[in-house]
A and B are shown apart, each in its own frame.
Chain A
């Protein structure tokens, strides 16, 4: 087996998942609208005072992004598990971790990337400055793929289980704490005029770590699930 066919397997999984998502655009839009609605609920609950909203904006947007990326995770392996595709992927000669990498990339492109693009608009509603908006999008760009990788791990552990959604959140949310802290911290620092480099570097470090180990551990979890 040469490198070409291994990457080819990853690319075809990516293309297949993107095509499947394209056939059912409602699923994609649901997660995005969930994100927008949750963020918009906070001013209604807290009150329209600009000062408070400005202070809580980074945290609110980040927590909403975290929840929105949880929302679609249950579907990551479920359909493939039900119709037996997942079993074929495990049996395939190509490494399972690369196939997982393809699936997670597709998941991020479909659910994570729209959040990144939408976030500056939501930040604007909370009165964030131009620089803070840019950092918000940048932090989400680094952080949401890491969330997708961590979430894929939970999805693999809970595939085929009853009540997978709530269980998945219980397993995964504690592991997402570091990403949340530095993601929201970067925006907070930008909004108060402080240096953001450290936060963004740490987010990047999390992403690199999730990228290296995530697909590998997720593949192990899938093997356990379908043993």
Chain B
């Protein structure tokens, strides 16, 4: 049986599909997060160097991964939207941005909380921290540009272009910050020389990462449904949908 993948690139077809998918991803996120927290806080052994403070890794690392990955996904959606002129990709990119910004913020915040007991400082101008901070600025720029433009079509296209430019720049920024850091011989802390991790620690981290993934999908789909209704309110099906949901 041939599957027509393009069917769901149309907002009226995608809207109910998203509605059906949300509970599954939300439930998976909740269950996996509970398992991940149990593995992380109870099963995983105490680190012989850092004691129990390392346990923030179960939030910190998945958040950091998601922050970078979501920006990439956003840029891909923005690129598809600009090339094929599809409405839905613009909505998806917009729906992902706040979650990406949130994960970036969580990664920075938990990093600061982790840095205090291990390095003795809330913040160091390390290459990773600095580029993560700049990534947060890029997210905020994207969200503000989208919010500043009244015409939805122009908003989606202009901020999509910005997301693409940002995605091209992220590696450049990362390497320039890295070289800047080594030239200045700043904090002599290596994040890369982490001690080998116990298998349970890795398992906990992976489960949390999948939970973060499911959460992102659920939240993005919820947001994209709102976005679709808001943007398509002039069309017949969206008006019907709104009337049905208002009842």
- Least CB distance, B170 to chain A, in whole angstroms: 10
| Choice from A163, A174, A178, A225 contacting B154 with Cβ under 8 Å | A225
Cβ proximity bits A157-177 to B, threshold 8 Å, 1 near / 0 not: 110011100010011011101
CA distance A225 to B154 in the complex (A): 6
| Choice from B140, B165, B179 contacting A170 with Cβ under 8 Å | B140
Which residues of chain A from 140 to 163 have any CB-CB distance to chain B below 8 Å in the complex? Answer: 153, 157-158, 161-163
Cβ–Cβ contact B141 & A170, under 8 A = yes
Q: Within 8 Å of chain B (Cβ to Cβ): is A181? A: yes
Main secondary structure of the interface of A (DSSP, over half): helix
- Least CB distance, A216 to chain B, in whole angstroms: 12
| Residues of chain B within 8 A of A162, CB atoms compared | 148
CA distance A185 to B180 in the complex (A): 8
| Choice from A163, A181, A182 contacting B148 with Cβ under 8 Å | A163
Cβ–Cβ contact A174 & B173, under 8 A = yes
Query: For residue B131, which residue of chain A has the nearest CB?
Result: A177
CA distance A170 to B166 in the complex (A): 13
Cβ–Cβ contact B177 & A177, under 8 A = yes
| Choice from A167, A181, A185, A220 contacting B145 with Cβ under 8 Å | A167
In the complex with contacts A167-B144, A170-B141, A185-B183, A175-B165 CB distance below 8 A: yes
| Choice from A167, A170, A178 contacting B173 with Cβ under 8 Å | A178
Cβ–Cβ contact B161 & A217, under 8 A = yes
- Least CB distance, B227 to chain A, in whole angstroms: 19
Which residues of chain B from 103 to 158 have any CB-CB distance to chain A below 8 Å in the complex? Answer: 134, 137-138, 140-141, 144-145, 148-149, 153-154, 157-158
Q: Within 8 Å of chain B (Cβ to Cβ): is A49? A: no
Cβ–Cβ contact B173 & A171, under 8 A = no
CA distance A175 to B171 in the complex (A): 11
Cβ proximity bits A72-93 to B, threshold 8 Å, 1 near / 0 not: 0000000000000000000000
Q: Within 8 Å of chain A (Cβ to Cβ): is B169? A: yes
| Residues of chain A within 8 A of B172, CB atoms compared | 178
Q: Within 8 Å of chain B (Cβ to Cβ): is A224? A: yes
- Least CB distance, B196 to chain A, in whole angstroms: 33
In the complex with contacts A158-B145, A161-B149, A163-B148, A181-B177 CB distance below 8 A: yes
Cβ–Cβ contact B137 & A167, under 8 A = no
- Least CB distance, A184 to chain B, in whole angstroms: 9
In the complex with contacts A158-B145, A167-B145, A170-B137, A177-B176 CB distance below 8 A: yes
Q: Within 8 Å of chain A (Cβ to Cβ): is B162? A: yes
Q: Within 8 Å of chain B (Cβ to Cβ): is A221? A: yes
CA distance A225 to B149 in the complex (A): 10
- Least CB distance, A113 to chain B, in whole angstroms: 25
Cβ–Cβ contact B161 & A174, under 8 A = no
Cβ–Cβ contact A178 & B176, under 8 A = yes
| Residues of chain B within 8 A of A181, CB atoms compared | 176-177, 179-180
Cβ–Cβ contact A177 & B141, under 8 A = no
Cβ–Cβ contact A167 & B176, under 8 A = no
Cβ–Cβ contact B161 & A177, under 8 A = no
| Residues of chain A within 8 A of B140, CB atoms compared | 170
CA distance A157 to B162 in the complex (A): 8
In the complex with contacts A175-B166, A185-B180, A224-B158 CB distance below 8 A: yes
Cβ–Cβ contact B137 & A174, under 8 A = yes
| Residues of chain B within 8 A of A225, CB atoms compared | 154, 158
CA distance A220 to B173 in the complex (A): 23
Query: For residue B173, which residue of chain A has the nearest CB?
Result: A177
Cβ–Cβ contact A224 & B157, under 8 A = yes
- Least CB distance, A202 to chain B, in whole angstroms: 8
| Residues of chain A within 8 A of B158, CB atoms compared | 157, 221, 224-225
Cβ–Cβ contact B161 & A175, under 8 A = no
Given contacts A158-B145, A163-B148, A175-B173, 10 further A-B contacts (CB under 8 A): A153-B165, A177-B173, A178-B169, A181-B177, A181-B180, A224-B154, A224-B157, A224-B158, A224-B161, A225-B158
- Chain A to chain B: the 7 pairs with minimum beta-carbon distance, closest first: A178-B176, A174-B137, A171-B141, A224-B157, A181-B180, A181-B176, A174-B134
